[in-house]
Structure 1
Amino acid sequence: MASKPKKRAIAGCEGEGGGCSESKSMIDRLSDPPDQVAHHILSFLTVVDLVRLCCVSKRWRELSLSAPCLNFDDIPSSCRSTCYDRLQLMTYLERFLFHRGDNKVQSFHVNWERHYMDENETVCICSSEHYRLLTWINCAVRCNVEVLDLKMALYDPEEAPFPSSVFLCGTLKSLVVDMNFTLLRTPSFGFSSNLSKLQLKDVVIEDERFFKWISCSCKFIQELHLDQVRGIETISIASSSLKIFRFFDVFNTSHLSISGEKLEDIVVGWYVESPSNSSLNICAPNLKVLSWSGKLMNHLSLGKFRCLEAAVLRLRPDADEVDKVYEVLCSLCKVRALMLDEATIKAPFSKGSMRAPISNIHCLTMDTGRITDELVPAIASLFKGLPNLYILCVQYKPPLDGPQSNTSGFDMGYWKLQNLAFIDQLKVVSIELCNDSNVIDLARYILECAQNLLQMIVISPPQDSDAVTKKLMGSKIVSGATVVYREREKRG
């Protein structure tokens, strides 16, 4: 039950004779909010602040020790600079956890970096932190934690595996583990997990059965993030509840299979070492968003994404993989918004004869470097297969050592000869450009031929801004479109 507000008398001396006014009452706003409100306030504090707050009053000590949100992040570096400081800090924190007892822990966040000795130190005693950190995790599990976020750089991750008790915690709903290659063993299949979100980074998976456990025992999981998981070559997941899947990998996994009726959002960043010996299988008939970057696998099975709304492709195809890129585009036949990088545009459309199998696209974003003479025919071929396009965005990221020439071989006459079907319905254009003729002539073609254009945003680097503006302002705009000129901000 929430405690009742306490009042305290305040005497005010007034008048020439120093007489005191009548006592007035005032609510002590620090000590008197209801427990639920107080706990919400405390949820924004780190655990170090909670330890300090225990010294303020008996009530705040009780509130601090019963706070459901424990944040071991953002501990000042000065508290962890030397072995002695770290030892003292851990002792304080463990004493705090001891006095908490079994009070409910709703969320537990830990961000703990290993100790790197200064030059004047000869012996480091902090390797024992490994076991103490694992004790903290077990404490959170004992207190029926719901959200567990663990980012720890351990000293010897092979010395002790990740606590299996975490996966057997019936209250746990969200788990994030980022622990420099600590070993995750396959949990018991007899336990039905209530996890809705699982995020694993830089961990070692004991065997492939771990992903079978996710498929079979995690009946409520909706988000799964796998980032640089080690130890296995094949990942196979089939889930009836999964909605969001994130996968990032470099040289570890060879085969990935993900399937689910409820999958709506998939992000894959995969740079396999041997694409010829790798495979990707996606079965997600209700997928809405797909983002894929990296190499193409030798064996692809994607099906048709008939509910797809948006897709991003940043592929790195080899010279002989034109058919594979085209196969991927065919899978996106119903997509409405698409982003392609330069390599993905060049591969299937470089000869200028292949039409895009993605005619339903309404919004196209191209992420390119300079619009060179080699790239223009590919872009034109892509445009010819997009009769329903009405939003176009050209993002320009010139390479530092990119070509300084061959960017002036295609003028407005070339674009007019293409008879692009979408030009009459194009509504909005955002185009980043520099003082290269090819891209400026593309912008001029749009201004002078797009009858229903409403707005064009022109973004150019400061050194080219005046020249670009002068060339485009000389265009005879066929529509009543508003043209906005902006300077591009420096990119880090």
Structure 2
Amino acid sequence: MPPRRKAGKGRRAAPLGGGRVSIDVLPDEVLHHVLSFLPAQEAVRTCVLALRWRHLWRYATGLRISCNAENEAVSAKKLRNFVDHLFLLRGGSPLDTCQFTLLHINDDNDDMCKIHLWIRHVLLCRVRVLSLDIRFNMDCWRTRFYMDDLPLVSQHLKRLELSALHLNQSFVDFSSCPALEVIQIKECDILDLDRISSRSLKSLSITGYCGFNEDHRIHVYAPNLVSLWLEVFYGRVPFLDRMPSLVEAVVRIDGMDGDFCHHADSGDCEDKDCPGCYGVDGDTGCVLLQSLSEAQSLVLISDTKMFIFRRDLKCCPIFSNLKALSLNEYWCVPDDFSALTCILEHSPVLEKLTLQLFSKGPKSNVQMKGSPDPTERSNVISEHLKTVEIKCEVVDAKVLNVLKFLNKLGIYSYRFQF
């Protein structure tokens, strides 16, 4: 507990002359929160401001511990001494947030062991939000900081942010984190994982150039998940277990290797030696779409060479709650539009369809909005569909082909925006 003063906790100082008000009029609890926004080194330096500030930093509700190229005064060794003394003097004071941003550190086993101990210490301080971004010097042979083999154990952790780490199966065992609701994984190696599992998880984001395994699929088990953002740029698309509470999801597949075949669009080239179609034992049934079928909003983007969505469409589920759907040109190839037709047929309450065609990003030079004619509406599309939005860089032959197909469904009367 903070040391008590005779004037009582949260004492207010007299306003300065001229009507100005000093920060010292704020209660201790507010100053503890304010200090949490400073880098830890700067927060500690406030101890010299006045007698009252001598111990305030010890009870800051957040810690921001950093070591990067812009902070040349802090070497890895000096940081280690500073953080060791910081934790010793803070003791077990509770933390709301803790952020480790350790860039360009040396590949030193003692330093790595220290960092692992620091992480375990803040967990004991009942931290609720933990952010880890730890990177080696560019000349180190390791590309990622390896997390230790111990599982996370915390009754209080609610949000976990992981960047540029090598994750192992023990570390992502979240069974001992019953309050964990949000996980963000960015630019991490997850090659060694078999499973990401959490019953309490509500939001999961795996983005950036994360490395998935080429020889097996990671299983994601999060039955209470509400929001999913999944990007696959390398390796196999993960298998999603049932997500009955899912509301929104973004799935982007631009993978190299993994779910790709030179001979078949749907992963069924019948060549048993094909590593793309038959490289995973027991790989049958829906990988993604079945678990996404309860969502109200979906964004499904894929490189046209990847087959996983087309394979899933062979056992396409009913998207009984889906109201907003965004797709890219993957769903309009080949010219028979079979993939687009299939997912529209299985979306009975769809209200808005967005097609982002042949564009690199969400912003496009041309935007068109159309709507179905109630008298000529095709049975393929939902009777609730009100808006069809097409975004593209230029209206070329490929885009015109898509417009002709939509016209056959009774969707026209476009309004152009440039």
Is TM-score (shorter-chain normalized) higher than 0.5? yes
Q: CA deviation at 1:366?
A: 0.7
Q: CA deviation at 1:31?
A: 2.6
8 Å CA contact retained: 1:183, 1:204:
yes
Q: CA deviation at 1:81?
A: 6.0
Q: CA deviation at 1:147?
A: 2.9
Query: Are 2:197 and 1:197 equivalent residues in the alignment?
Result: no
Distance (Å, rounded) in 2 between the aligned partners of 1:252 and 1:324: 19
Query: Are 2:72 and 1:80 equivalent residues in the alignment?
Result: yes
1:135-187: CA deviations, max 9, x gaps? 5445534544333322222469x99xxxxxxxxxxxxxxxxxxx923133143
Report the AA paired with residue 149 of structure 1.
S
Q: CA deviation at 1:9?
A: 9.3
Distance (Å, rounded) in 2 between the aligned partners of 1:206 and 1:187: 9
Distance (Å, rounded) in 2 between the aligned partners of 1:319 and 1:70: 43
Candidates 255, 260, 266, aligned match of 2:228: 266
Report the AA paired with residue 11 of structure 2.
K
Secondary structure at the residue paired with 1:108? strand
Q: Percent identity?
A: 16
8 Å CA contact retained: 1:55, 1:61:
yes
Task: Quote the residue 2:9 is aligned against.
Answer: 2
Candidates 219, 226, 234, aligned match of 2:194: 234
User: Are residues 186 and 362 of structure 1, via their aligned partners in 2, closer, same or farther at CA, if it must alter by over 3 Å?
Assistant: same
Candidates 279, 299, 322, aligned match of 1:312: 299
Distance (Å, rounded) in 1 between the aligned partners of 2:378 and 2:388: 10
User: Are residues 281 and 60 of structure 1, via their aligned partners in 2, closer, same or farther at CA, if it must alter by over 3 Å?
Assistant: closer
Candidates 49, 53, 59, aligned match of 1:56: 49
Secondary structure at the residue paired with 1:104? coil
Query: Are 2:25 and 1:32 equivalent residues in the alignment?
Result: yes
Query: Are 2:301 and 1:324 equivalent residues in the alignment?
Result: no
User: Are residues 240 and 36 of structure 1, via their aligned partners in 2, closer, same or farther at CA, if it must alter by over 3 Å?
Assistant: same
Distance (Å, rounded) in 2 between the aligned partners of 1:282 and 1:293: 18
Query: Are 2:361 and 1:394 equivalent residues in the alignment?
Result: no
Distance (Å, rounded) in 2 between the aligned partners of 1:314 and 1:70: 38
Distance (Å, rounded) in 2 between the aligned partners of 1:110 and 1:103: 18
* Structure 2 counterparts to residues 286-301 of structure 1, below 5 A: 286-294=245-253, 299-301=284-286
Candidates 82, 87, 90, aligned match of 1:100: 90
1:61-107: CA deviations, max 9, x gaps? 2212332222224x785542685xx6556545554444434433332
Report the AA paired with residue 64 of structure 1.
W
8 Å CA contact retained: 2:126, 2:157:
no
8 Å CA contact retained: 2:133, 2:163:
no
1:43-68: CA deviations, max 9, x gaps? 22222322321111111122123322
Report the AA paired with residue 250 of structure 1.
G
Task: Quote the residue 1:368 is aligned against.
Answer: 357
Distance (Å, rounded) in 2 between the aligned partners of 1:82 and 1:194: 31
Task: Quote the residue 1:150 is aligned against.
Answer: 132
User: Are residues 30 and 146 of structure 1, via their aligned partners in 2, closer, same or farther at CA, if it must alter by over 3 Å?
Assistant: same
Report the AA paired with residue 322 of structure 2.
V
Distance (Å, rounded) in 2 between the aligned partners of 1:126 and 1:353: 52
Secondary structure at the residue paired with 2:241? strand
Task: Quote the residue 2:213 is aligned against.
Answer: 252
Task: Quote the residue 1:111 is aligned against.
Answer: 101
Report the AA paired with residue 144 of structure 2.
N
User: Are residues 333 and 226 of structure 1, via their aligned partners in 2, closer, same or farther at CA, if it must alter by over 3 Å?
Assistant: same
Candidates 128, 143, 151, aligned match of 1:187: 151
Alignment: residue pair count: 358
* Structure 2 counterparts to residues 10-25 of structure 1, below 5 A: none
8 Å CA contact retained: 1:292, 1:312:
yes
8 Å CA contact retained: 2:310, 2:339:
no
TM-score normalised to structure 2 length: 0.68
8 Å CA contact retained: 1:305, 1:334:
no
Task: Quote the residue 1:174 is aligned against.
Answer: none
Distance (Å, rounded) in 2 between the aligned partners of 1:81 and 1:9: 35
Task: Quote the residue 2:290 is aligned against.
Answer: 303
Secondary structure at the residue paired with 1:303? helix
Task: Quote the residue 1:489 is aligned against.
Answer: none
Query: Are 2:327 and 1:340 equivalent residues in the alignment?
Result: yes
Distance (Å, rounded) in 1 between the aligned partners of 2:128 and 2:201: 19
8 Å CA contact retained: 2:130, 2:159:
no
Q: CA deviation at 1:320?
A: 7.4
Task: Quote the residue 1:19 is aligned against.
Answer: none
8 Å CA contact retained: 1:323, 1:348:
no
Distance (Å, rounded) in 1 between the aligned partners of 2:299 and 2:16: 66
8 Å CA contact retained: 1:114, 1:154:
yes
What is the Cα-based RMSD across aligned positions, in Å?
4.5
Distance (Å, rounded) in 1 between the aligned partners of 2:120 and 2:223: 35
Secondary structure at the residue paired with 1:255? coil
Q: CA deviation at 1:269?
A: 1.9
8 Å CA contact retained: 2:203, 2:228:
yes
TM-score normalised to structure 1 length: 0.59
Greater relative CO (CA pairs within 8 A, separation 6+): 2
Report the AA paired with residue 244 of structure 1.
S
Distance (Å, rounded) in 2 between the aligned partners of 1:76 and 1:264: 35
Which protein shows a greater Rg? 1
User: Are residues 108 and 130 of structure 1, via their aligned partners in 2, closer, same or farther at CA, if it must alter by over 3 Å?
Assistant: same
Distance (Å, rounded) in 2 between the aligned partners of 1:96 and 1:113: 20
Unmatched 5+ stretches in structure 1: 11-23, 117-124, 160-178, 371-379, 399-403, 424-444, 448-455, 460-492
Task: Quote the residue 2:380 is aligned against.
Answer: 385
Distance (Å, rounded) in 1 between the aligned partners of 2:183 and 2:402: 48
1:378-401: CA deviations, max 9, x gaps? xx9x98732432122222246xxx
